[in-house]
Structure 1
Amino acid sequence: MTLTSLVLLAVAALLVGFAKTAIGGLGSVAVAIFAFVLPTRESTAAILLLLIVGDVVAVWHYRRDADWRLIRRLVPAVLPGLALGALFLAWVDDTTLRRTIGVLLLALAALQLVLTRRSTDTSQVGGSRAAAIGTGAAAGFATMTANAAGAVMTLYLVAQGVEKRRFLGTSALFFFGVNLCKLPFSAGLGLFDADTAKRTVLLVPFVLVGTWVGLHTARRLSQSRFDQAVLVATVVSAVALVVR
């Protein structure tokens, strides 16, 4: 592996940590970097282990802010989404799938921005049972095929006007559970090997630095700036999925 590749992976690991404790949508940019440097399937497993490291830090810091009611509404649909994503990852062209997910995220982000500019109250629709089921299934599918569930969750929580710390705590706990559930699926697909483990150990310090920077950044962001930042990050991550 070249020095340039190592630097890119280190930057991606920093973004993983930062996304977990501050602006979640940026996680997909890290996913895109990993897929650029490593073979696609190998990159999926490599970044999953780093995501879990970031999850542990985020859950510890935001554990008192998680909204269990929101999480309980999403969980029932996540496992079917994961299973469907695993099937597609095993049998279908995952590049096409990632680009499809990216286009859908762009469309959803555009809709959210339009509704926000028109001062439309989206909390009633965002808080419906159908939205919870759709988000849970989409998050499971997107995270299994493209590690892109952060953007799905962002749009769901923004639509409900969730406060910053509640947003971060709910996302942290939700994705910690989701990523743990992904481990057996990824192992069953044969995505873990010795090189992946070594690479993870080397990159963990960068993830931890990213979480530290993210914690300090989140404290300084006002609620309005936070909402704007997560939507912009969602658009950036969707573009990353489309073009990578």
Structure 2
Amino acid sequence: MITLFSFQFAYAQVALVCLVAIFIGMSKTGVHGAGMLAVPLLATIFGGQHSSGVLLPILVLADVMGTWYYHRHASWEHLKLLFPWAALGVVVGTVIGSYIDDKVFRIIMATVIVGSVIVMLWLERGHKEAVPHNKAFGITTGVLGGFTSMVGNLAGTVMAVYFLSMRLPKNTFIGTTAWFFMVTNWFKVPFHVFAWHTITWNTFLLDLLTLPFILLGAVAGVWIVKKLSEKAYRWFIISMTLVAAVVMLLR
């Protein structure tokens, strides 16, 4: 066992936290799906709601890296539509999350994860053209994105479906996604601190220790996007995410 800022960890759990940071870094520089795998892995250590607060500062740190690298590639036309509705979704998620226990919280997270995987599989089978791309869909996506982002940091697939439907080029897709999550995640911080009390000084210090692993994941993500096909990796992420979701649900 090892003690870090009032937390007692087995060595395997420390390694898992570092792996989560690597996955988050990769997800912010274009390796989609890695972030979703990180969520249930961290929940197995900290529980559902508390893990969302532990993960948020890691996401914020990674968002800065992703936005810095892709800051010139963003569609502000789409972001201006999404931001106010995402803020509403965050508020709704905060209220609902305040009235449910951790078991229900984990069930919601697992359900969102499994649903996201189903959507990912549907998209993989060539149905991207079937996704609508109108204003009403953007508003709905904004609310769902804010809600799922607050309740478990699980908005990745929701937003991916929307941005894919907008037919954005690869770099614009990554840059727009990076800006959306950086703004949304910063907006969520006060709710975690003052409403849910899931971000504390100790959790923040713990998250700072993961910074080298976030950077490692970010560099790896850039390399993968540039050099390798993501298809096999996406199938690996889909499979492992399903396994992690089941473990989280049954734990």
| TM bin (shorter chain) | 0.7 to 0.9
Give unmatched runs, 5+ long, in structure 2. Answer: 1-8
The answer to whether 1:198 aligns with 2:211 is no
Contact 1:109 1:235 in 2 (8 A): no
Aligned counterparts of 1:79 and 1:216: Cα–Cα separation in 2: 33
TM-superposed deviation, 1:231: 8.0
Larger helix fraction of residues: 1
Post-superposition offset of 1:19: 0.7
Cα distance between partner residues in 2 of 1:65 and 1:156: 17
Counterpart Cα distance in 1 of 2:70 and 2:235: 21
Give the 3-state SS of the residue equivalent to 1:24 in structure 2: coil
8 Å Cα contact 1:122/1:160 also seen in 2: no
Contact 2:25–2:216 (8 Å) recurs in 1: yes
Map Cα deviations across residues 168-223 of structure 1 (whole Å, 9 max, x no partner).
100000000000010011012111223202211211111111111111211224xx
For residue 131 of structure 1, report the CA deviation from its aligned partner: 1.4
- Quickly say closer, same or farther: Cα 1:109–1:51, change in 2 above 3 A: same
Instruction: Work out the CA distance in 1 between the residues paired with 2:246 and 2:78.
Output: 29
Matched length: 236
Q: 1:38 aligns with which of 41, 46, 51?
A: 46
Q: Superposed, which structure 2 residues align to 1:80-229 within 5 Å?
A: 80-92=88-100, 93-116=104-127, 121-122=129-130, 125=132, 127-188=133-194, 189-221=196-228, 225-226=229-230
Report the TM-score, using the length of structure 1 for normalisation.
0.87
Q: Give the TM-score normalised by the residue count of structure 2.
A: 0.85
Contact 2:48 2:109 in 1 (8 A): no
* Partners of 1:151 and 1:234 within 8 A in 2: no
Answer yes or no: is the 8 Å Cα contact 1:106–1:239 preserved in 2.
no
Cα 1:237–1:147 shift into 2, 3 Å: farther
> Which runs of no fewer than 5 residues in structure 1 stay unpaired?
none
Q: Percent identity?
A: 26
Partners of 2:130 and 2:232 in 1: how far apart? 16
CA RMSD of aligned residues (A): 2.2
SS of the aligned residue for 2:33 comes to: helix
